[in-house]
Amino acid sequence: MAERHLGQRSKKGAERWKKHFERQKELHRQIKAAAGEDILKSRNFRTTREHIQHGNMTVNNHCMNVAKYSLAFSDKLHITCNRKELIRGALLHDYFLYDWHDEEHVKLYRFHGFRHPGVALKNASQDYRLTEREKDIIRKHMWPLTVVPPMCREAWIVSAADKWCSLMETFHMHRGHGALLQKLRTKREEEGDR
Ligand SMILES: [Fe+2]
Ligand SMILES: [Fe+2]
């Protein structure tokens, strides 16, 4: 009886895991379709893999998560929006292209929360052709810090997804490769000193 019960539980667990895996695969497919050719393959976007965001996450992991959660929020809440712009804005919302924990950015660090949306927008505008919605997403994602509220639903969704992901990362509920990255960086620096 107990064995049968355990068997049913593990079967349910496997089904849940399979469903989650399929969902993640589908979100990935949508992100790739919306931004695979230019953003995901670009050299600058790839450098975000070397920068730590919160806790153990790289900026790249964080932006991918924000894109996934933005899609998930809009689905769950049945909010009709432009999914392509939602994804692209989410991927580029933290396109500031520096590590805000680095010593050379220590002055910026204090004002990072206020300044980085503007820096991200400037960088993204140089590298990609942005729509007005995508610009609004990047510019306003830190609202209310940025005072002026988002002007489109896509920007509201990304702002909410960003806050959710940042909270999860800060409390290590979302885990990335930041610690591994730090180890590799330290090792590289030590090798350089020899
Ligand atoms: Fe940000
Ligand atoms: Fe962010």
pLDDT digits (tens, 9 = 90+) for 8-43: 778 888 889 999 899 999 999 999 999 978 999 999
Query: Any idea which residue has 């520096």 for tokens?
Result: 98
Lowest-confidence segment of 4-8, 85-89, 136-140 by average pLDDT: 4-8
- Spatial distance between the Cα atoms of 96 and 122, rounded to a whole number of angstroms: 8
Q: Residue 50: which pLDDT band, with cuts at 50, 70 and 90?
A: confident
Residues with CB under 5 A from ligand 2 (ion): 94, 162
For residues 154 and 85, the answer to whether their CB atoms sit within 8 Å is yes
DSSP code for 26: H
Fold of 2-193: Hypothetical protein af1432 (1.10.3210)
pLDDT, tens digit (0-9, with 9 covering 90-100), for 163-184? 999 998 887 666 666 556 655 6
At 184 the pLDDT is 64
C-alpha 96 – ligand 1 centre gap (Å): 9
**Ligand with minimal distance to 53 CA:** 2
Ligand nearest to the CA of 117: 1
pLDDT at 63: 96
pLDDT of residue 11: 83
Instruction: Look up tokens 């929360």; give the residue.
Output: 113
Least confident range of 19-23, 71-75, 78-82, 89-93? 19-23
Give the 3-state secondary structure of residue 58: strand
Whole-model pTM: value is: 0.84
Average pLDDT, the chain: 87
Place of tokens 């809440």: 77
Quote the distance between the C-alpha of residue 194 and its chain's center: 36
Closest of 77, 75, 49, 74 to residue 63, by C-alpha: 49
Whether 193 has a pLDDT exceeding 60, the answer reads: no
Distance CA 116, CA 32 (A): 25
Q: Mean pLDDT, to the nearest integer, of 127-145?
A: 96
Query: CB count, 10 Å around CB of 16?
Result: 10
Report the candidate in 14, 90, 55 with the shortest Cα–Cα distance to residue 174.
55
Task: Report how far ligand 1's centroid is from the alpha carbon of 175 (Å).
Answer: 18
Around ion ligand 1, residues with a beta carbon closer than 5 Å are 94
What pLDDT is recorded for position 187?
63
